[in-house]
């Protein structure tokens, strides 16, 4: 019996930890001039998810008590910020950074060039790291890469001096357009799924009052009517959250109107 209780206690530990995970809204501030820079990377070491600050220095990321946030940038010092239990209830988490000292590379002095090609070529470096990399990988750098079949260009694939039969057949049969539409649909579905998984269903049902069965439809509505696609390309989930909040009322009003029409028809 005691072993069974220990087993139940062991299983409940991770559940309790994940239950405390919250969406943290924060801002990065540079101590030198109190600026809030864009493009700072914030990574949760436990979940491995990364958020990027927007033009106001703001970011949004899921975290729980005990998590460590790694803050990285090319021009500012890296810092590891530990999430304490008391910080989870803050409306805005402020993290300060300092400037990153930049060490210049060692200067290499070469032979002064004379302007005579035959003479200067003797002193030029014959080390080509790109060619060596291709050699190690067993790839011939002179081979022309095969282009994507969906990348159709009229004057490249069909012209008086050139005819791509495969591409032309795809265009005539409609396969090209169908493949392009399929790729676009799959890409969009992937984005919608990532957004839903990032914020979690509780955020949509509790914070935005979206019915559970309408979450996917709401995200699709927001995707089509806002700039979410652009924000997703740069992993700016703080801006995505702002877009979701902007269209929440519009979507709920439409949903209410649709439900009222169904009720009247019945």
Domains (ranges, CATH) in the chain? Answer: 19-97 (2.60.40.10), 177-265 (no CATH)
Sheet containing 79-82: give its strands across. Answer: 50-52, 41-44, 68-72, 79-82
One digit per residue, the tens of pLDDT, for the chain of length 266 reads: 455 444 444 444 444 444 478 888 999 988 777 788 888 899 999 988 988 888 888 899 999 999 999 998 877 778 898 998 888 888 888 888 876 655 545 555 555 655 555 555 555 555 566 666 566 555 565 655 544 544 545 545 444 444 454 555 554 555 555 655 555 667 788 888 899 999 999 999 999 999 999 999 999 889 988 899 889 889 899 999 999 999 999 999 888 887 777 676 66
pLDDT of residue 77: 79
pLDDT of residue 56: 86
Please work out, in degrees rounded to the nearest 5, the angle formed at the alpha carbon of residue 241 by the alpha carbons of 237 and 246.
145
pLDDT of residue 74: 72
Contact present, 50 and 3 (Cβ < 8 Å) = no
pLDDT of residue 208: 92
pLDDT of residue 115: 55
Rounded distance between C-alpha atoms, residue 106 and residue 119, angstroms: 26
* Helices and strands in the chain: count of H runs, count of E runs: 10, 9
């Amino acid at each position: 019996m005691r072993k069974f209780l220990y087993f139940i206690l062991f299983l409940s530990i991770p559940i309790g930890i994940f239950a405390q995970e919250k969406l943290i809204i924060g801002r990065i501030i540079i101590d030198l001039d109190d600026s809030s820079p864009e493009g700072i990377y914030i990574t949760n070491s436990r979940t491995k998810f990364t958020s990027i600050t927007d033009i106001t220095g703001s970011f949004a990321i899921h975290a729980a008590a005990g998590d460590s946030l790694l803050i990285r940038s090319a021009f500012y010092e890296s810092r590891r910020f530990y999430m304490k239990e008391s910080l989870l209830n803050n409306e805005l988490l402020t993290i300060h950074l300092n400037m990153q000292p930049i060490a210049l590379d060692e200067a290499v002095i070469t032979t002064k060039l004379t302007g005579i090609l035959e003479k200067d070529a003797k002193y030029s470096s014959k080390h080509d790291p790109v060619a060596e990399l291709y050699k190690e990988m067993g790839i011939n750098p002179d081979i022309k890469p095969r282009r994507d079949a969906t990348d159709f260009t009229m004057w490249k694939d069909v012209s008086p001096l050139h005819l791509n039969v495969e591409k032309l057949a795809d265009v005539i049969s409609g396969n090209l357009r169908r493949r392009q539409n399929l790729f676009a649909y799959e890409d969009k579905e992937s984005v919608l799924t990532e957004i839903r998984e990032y914020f979690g269903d509780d955020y949509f049902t509790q914070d935005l009052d979206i019915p559970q069965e309408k979450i996917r439809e709401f995200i699709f509505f927001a995707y089509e009517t806002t700039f979410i696609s652009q924000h997703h390309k740069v992993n700016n989930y703080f801006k995505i959250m702002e877009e979701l909040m902007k269209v929440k009322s519009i979507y709920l009003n439409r949903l209410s109107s649709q439900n009222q029409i169904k009720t009247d028809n019945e």
